[in-house]
Amino acid sequence: MKKLTLSVIILGIFASQSFALSAQDVENEIQAIEQLPLQQRVEKMNQLKEQINQLSDEEKQQVLNELSEKYQIMTQERQRVQTKAQENTIKEGMQGEMERAMGVKSEMEHSISDVKAQIEAKQAEVTQNSVK
């Protein structure tokens, strides 16, 4: 009698758990379904819809709320990662531009030094010619 009562209790627990889907259960099912071939995906999605339809309105709302929260957090994290990647791209671009600008500056300084040397040489030549 004790075993029968325990079996009935365990069966009741399993039966109630099989109909009560959590947001995590739904998410796990969706992830598994995404990996299936098209025909199996359709069949499994229909089965999942049936399981969801068996939930009470309160349970459905709870699952939807949990999924919405989870996807909102995931969306925020994805946006944060994208923003960080964009910032890194901009930073790398700016660093490249700075390196190019430094190269141009160095070339200009070298050219200016050459021009100064040429001017000084001409001035020395003019001074020498005017002394003669």
Give yes or no for a contact between 33 and 41, defined as CB atoms under 8 angstroms apart.
Answer: yes
Task: Tell me what pLDDT residue 102 has.
Answer: 92
Taking only the tens place, the pLDDT of each residue in 26-77 is 778 888 888 888 888 889 888 888 888 888 888 888 888 888 888 888 889 9
Residue 29, C-beta contacts closer than 8 angstroms, at least 6 positions apart: 44, 48
Three-class DSSP category at 108: helix
What is each CA distance from 93 to 43, 62, 96, 98, 99, in whole angstroms? Answer: 49, 46, 5, 9, 10
Q: What are the tokens at 92? A: 């790398």
Q: Give this prediction's pTM.
A: 0.43
Task: Tell me what pLDDT residue 19 has.
Answer: 45
